[in-house]
Structure formats: structure tokens, C-alpha cells
Amino acid sequence: MNDTLALRRHPALPLLAGGALLIAALVIGTHFGARTGLLMLIGGLLGMALYHAAFGFTAAWRVFLTERRGRGLRAQMAMLAIAVMLFFPVLEAGSLFGHPVYGFVAPLGVSVIAGAFLFGIGMQLGGGCASGTLFTAGGGNVRMLVTLLFFIIGSLIGTAHFSWWQSLPAIAPVSLVHTIGSLGGILLSLVLFAGIGALTVWMERRRHGRLEWAPRGDRDNRHWLTGPWPLLFGAIALALLNFATLALAGRPWGITSALALWGAKGYELMGGDVSTWGYWQSPGNAAALHASVWSDITTVMNIGIMIGALTAASLAGKFAPSFRIPPRSLLAAVIGGLLLGYGARLAFGCNIGAYFSGIASGSLHGWLWWVAAFIGNMVGIKLRPWFFALRGRGQRAA
């Protein structure tokens, strides 16, 4: 077709993508330190795991809410269970391999609730979460590049309003690790994960009589290099790679702070000035704003995720970007991207930084984010029919 790039079977593409990742990591490591270069490789592995396991949050939540199929949600609970068992003892000790580490622990307030709610709507309109936007865009989904662009713009706007949102009522940060200890936090978390998993099993069996399994073709044709991977394999890989991020970066995996930084640097290139905005006056953000974007480890990992997904898609023979996007779908990508970016800034992160890494850090704001984002997804699902011509199961990938 004229609107599709015919790269599906190009044998050199996986080598080119993988080689680009290795060269970029080497260059970054040479100029900004070996740890930063290694984190780009970790990002590449995250991109491959996300793509090969099709490990999305948006579709998993939508399928559960609309069809009561909980396979994806149960995989998320398994991922979180592994993560807390790895993270909590290390965060309680405060160091790993002699290097200080810290978790993502944030206040519980109006800002988190509103931001996560908006993010949840954006997930269903934009067609992905933060990690989903990166790995599907890297895998060749042109529509998701539009979502990513407006994700960046929404993030920038969120930084402009950040101080006002933080002035609204909030409860001080609460960490399970620091309040009941790592062992108590692990046990409580595992009970919650098991309870959520059991609830999805009960609801799925009540609706369908039995649990859903992976499609037969996926189970018969799995290969670690070309995929597809089982969801549980993806869950394990993401938990281990997040822990590797903690070991190398001193903090967990995050995504959206880099998108805000890209937006700010782009705005300043066009003659704008964000230095007077409250968000950019904190020491860490101010330093990132004035430093090279390539010294920002979240940026480096995000680029790694996209290249890793490109490598995975080309290895699977599925890299075939299509430029035919229906106008309403394009509009949904624009609105969804803005809501994703804006919401993530208000809520101290996204499905990765607030939900995955927040809960893995023992922060109660991660649980608050999850509830508010889930409600936002319900609203987003109600809005989807106006933007998309639904086709049943085929819509799960969006």
C-alpha cells in the first residue's frame, strides 16, 4: 500500500537498529559516564520487553473494564509483587552496592487525584500510557508519534501550572517502607496484589465461565528474540529492569520528567523562557534545564526504549509504519497526548513513575494514582466511540 513503508522484511533493519543503540550507548557513556551509557542499554531492553510482551497498561485496563478479562491486570500485579520484594529491603537500607538509593515518594493530594484522572482519560484517547506511547511509537506506530508530540506539549503546560496545583490541599508523603518497615510493607503489598488478582479471577469467571489464555498462535510461535513473549515473562523482565535502573541511577524508572524537559528546551529554542516558572526553579529541574539534554538519564532511557522497540519490531518483521490516520483518531491523539502530559506533571508521574515505581517505592501516592487513573480510564472508554470505529478484539492493541 502507498501509505505504508514496506520495511517489514528488510533483513538489515534489526542490525541497524541494534547497532544504533550500542553506538549511542557507547557515545553517551564516553561523554556522560558509564552508568548513563548502561542506562541507555537498560532502556533498550525495556523497549524490547514492552514490545515483545505487548505489555500495555491502557489496553489491559480497558479490556478488564469492558469485557472483565483480567489477564493483563494480573500480570501487572505480578510485576508489582516482584518489584516490592526487590525494592523495599534496599530502600530501607538506603544504599545498594555502596551507592545511595531513594524511591519515588510524593504527597497525596488534589494534584495527584486530578492529574491521574486526566492521565487516565488521556490513556484511552491517546491510545497508550507513557511507556506504551514510547514503545509503540518506536515500533512504527505513526499515530503514537502524534500522541508523543502532544504529550510533550501537555507536559510543558503542566510545568507552567505546577506551583498552583501544589498549593492545593495535600497530605504529607507516606512510605510503607518507613512506616511499617520493609517486611511489613512487603506483606501488606502482597496481600493487596493477591486480593486484586483474585478479584479479577472472580469477575472474569463470573462473566465468561473460565479464564482467558494467550492466543494459540502466540503460544506456539514464541521466540525470545523475535517474540511474542508471555505476559508473565514481560512482567518479570520489567520488574528486574526497574531494579537495575535503581542500582545504576540511584532511583527507580521514570519517563515523563524527560518529556517536560524536552518541551521546555524546545520552547526556549523558540524564544520562550521557563526559568521563572516554579517547577523549573527547584535545584534538580533548574540544573537539568541548563545542562545538555543527553546528560539527563530519563531522556537517555526514553530514547533507548524507542530504539529497543524499533529493534524488537524489526526482529518480529512487524515494522511497517502507516500514515493513514482517520481524522477523528488523529484528534484523539492530540487531545489524549495533551491530557497525558498535563496529568503526569500534576500527579508526580505516570503509569511508570507514579504507579509502577511509586508502588515499588512503598509510596501511598502510587495507590492513590492508580484509583484516580482507573476512574479516568472509565471516562475515557465512554468517550472512545466518538473517536474510533470500534472493531471488538482488534481494538485491544490501541
What is the number of residues in the chain? 398
Residue 22 lies in a domain: yes
Residue 108 lies in a domain: yes
* pLDDT tens per residue across span 178-191: 999 999 999 999 99
Please list, residue by residue across 74-108, b when 16 or more beta carbons sit within 10 angstroms of its beta carbon and e when fewer do.
Answer: bbbbbbbbbbbbbbbbbbeeeebeeeebebbbbbb
Mean pLDDT of 82-87: 98
Residue 397 lies in a domain: no
Distance CA 363, CA 91 (A): 11
| Residue numbers of the domain that contains 135 | 13-387
The residue among 351, 306, 397, 355 whose CA lies nearest residue 48 is 306
Residue 266 lies in a domain: yes
Residue 7 lies in a domain: no
pLDDT at residue 215, as a whole number: 67
* pLDDT tens per residue across span 111-170: 999 999 999 999 999 999 999 999 999 888 999 999 999 999 999 999 999 999 999 999
Q: Say whether pLDDT at 218 is over 70.
A: no
The pTM for the full model equals 0.92
Q: Say whether pLDDT at 52 is over 70.
A: yes
Q: Say whether pLDDT at 396 is over 80.
A: no
pLDDT at residue 287, as a whole number: 96
% of residues, the chain, pLDDT over 90: 81
Return left, alpha or beta for 22; rule: phi > 0 is left, psi -120 to 50 is alpha, else beta: alpha
Q: How confident is the model at residue 392 (pLDDT cuts 50, 70, 90)?
A: very low
Residue 344 lies in a domain: yes
Mean pLDDT of 361-387: 97
Q: Is 91:103 a contact under the CB 8 Å cutoff?
A: yes
Residue 8 lies in a domain: no
Q: How confident is the model at residue 11 (pLDDT cuts 50, 70, 90)?
A: low
Number of domains in the chain: 1
Residue 270 lies in a domain: yes
